[in-house]
């Protein structure tokens, strides 16, 4: 199998998985009666701690938050892989596969709206902040993997990356689950093995 054929197969595989992920998200939006509201971070943040973002997303329950966070983590990886392997022609919206629009229930991204891994990672962080503040005894270990994925969307020296590292360290301190403590050893997805920060030069370095 030639290099061009392999590249074409990889493109088809990434696009297929992204389309399936979008289908799941549309169905989730239509089938679930959850709610999500954007609220000022000051309403939940300790007075001596500066919030990463001015607002965060309050979900109707922890289960819904968990499901959307896992979706966001998978989307971050697919957008990163697509940007780094397919390049600027990567169709994030999957416009050649028309699907009915989901009914919007709140401020979260619907399928195809988030163009870059960084935007999805910010959404993930704002939901994770709700989980850690509103459910400190329930949220924790299950957040480790999604937080690690989100970390790869930001330069290591950024405020977002430092916030994610601090949250992973706090979870490790509380749970004793040391493997959850962030170690910056692996290169970012889509970086070609170079520790530059961000998922892909095509899709992640966006202001």
Q: What is the pLDDT of residues 67-86, one digit of tens each?
A: 999 999 999 999 999 988 88
193 pLDDT above the threshold of 60: no
Q: Picking from 50-54, 166-170, 179-183, which range would have the lowest pLDDT averaged per residue?
A: 179-183
Read off the pTM: 0.81
The pLDDT value given to residue 78: 94
Assess whether pLDDT exceeds 80 at residue 51: no
For residue 184, the model assigns a pLDDT of 53
Percent of all residues in the chain with a pLDDT value above 70, rounded to a whole number: 74
Q: Is the pLDDT of residue 87 over 50?
A: yes
Distance CA 73, CA 42 (A): 26
Tens digits of per-residue pLDDT, 102-138?
667 788 999 989 989 999 999 999 999 888 888 777 7
Instruction: Show Cβ contacts of residue 90 under 8 Å, excluding neighbours closer than 6 positions.
Output: 14, 82, 83, 202, 203
Supply the Cα-derived Rg of the chain in whole angstroms. Answer: 17
pLDDT at 10 over 70: yes
Q: Residue 128: what pLDDT?
A: 92
């Amino acid at each position: 199998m030639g290099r061009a054929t392999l590249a074409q197969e990889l493109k088809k595989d990434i696009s297929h998985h992204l389309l399936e992920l979008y289908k799941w998200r549309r169905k989730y939006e239509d089938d679930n009666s959850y709610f999500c509201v954007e609220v000022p971070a000051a309403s939940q943040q300790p007075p001596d701690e500066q919030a990463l973002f001015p607002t965060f997303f309050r979900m109707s329950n922890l289960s819904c938050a968990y499901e959307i966070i896992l979706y966001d983590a998978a989307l971050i990886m697919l957008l990163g892989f697509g940007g780094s392997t397919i390049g600027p022609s990567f169709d994030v919206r999957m416009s050649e596969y028309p699907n009915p629009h989901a009914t919007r229930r709140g401020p979260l991204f619907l399928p195809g709206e988030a163009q870059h891994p960084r935007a999805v990672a910010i959404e993930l962080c704002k939901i994770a902040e709700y989980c850690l503040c509103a459910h400190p005894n329930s949220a924790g270990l299950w957040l480790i993997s999604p937080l690690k994925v989100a970390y790869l969307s930001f330069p290591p020296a950024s405020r977002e990356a430092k916030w994610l590292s601090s949250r992973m360290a706090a979870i490790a301190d509380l749970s004793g689950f040391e493997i959850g403590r962030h170690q910056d050893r692996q290169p970012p997805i889509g970086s070609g093995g170079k520790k530059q920060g961000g998922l892909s030069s095509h899709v992640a370095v966006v202001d």
